[in-house]
Amino acid sequence: MTETKNEIRVAKNHKDRLFRMIFREKKELLSLYNAVNGTSYTNAEDLEIVTLENAIYMNMKNDLAFIMDSYLNLYEHQSTYSPNMPLRDLFYIAKELQGQIDHRDLYRNTLIKIPTPRFLVFYNGSEEQAEKKYLRLSDAFQKSMDAPDLELVVTMLNINLGKNRKLLEQCQTLKEYAIYVKKVRTYAKSMKVEEAVDRAVT
pLDDT tens, 139-167?
999 999 999 999 999 999 999 999 999 99
User: Has residue 56 got a pLDDT over 70?
Assistant: no
Find all residues with CB under 8 Å of 159, minimum gap 6, and list them.
Answer: 122, 123, 124, 167, 168, 174, 177, 178
- Contact by Cβ (8 Å): 117, 93: yes
User: Among 10, 12, 99, which Cα is nearest to 53's?
Assistant: 99
The CA distance from 112 to 114, in Å, is: 6
User: Among 151, 111, 149, which Cα is nearest to 135's?
Assistant: 151
Find the mean pLDDT for residues 78-93.
94
Find the mean pLDDT for residues 119-144.
96
User: Has residue 180 got a pLDDT over 70?
Assistant: yes
Q: Please report the pLDDT score of residue 195 as a whole number.
A: 81
Strands (E), 79-173: 116-123, 132-136, 153-158
Label residue 8 by pLDDT band (50, 70, 90).
very low
Label residue 61 by pLDDT band (50, 70, 90).
low
DSSP 193: H
b or e along 15-25 (b: 16 or more beta carbons within 10 Å of the residue's beta carbon)?
bbebbbebbee
Q: Please report the pLDDT score of residue 200 as a whole number.
A: 76
The CA distance from 183 to 135, in Å, is: 29
- Contact by Cβ (8 Å): 193, 124: no
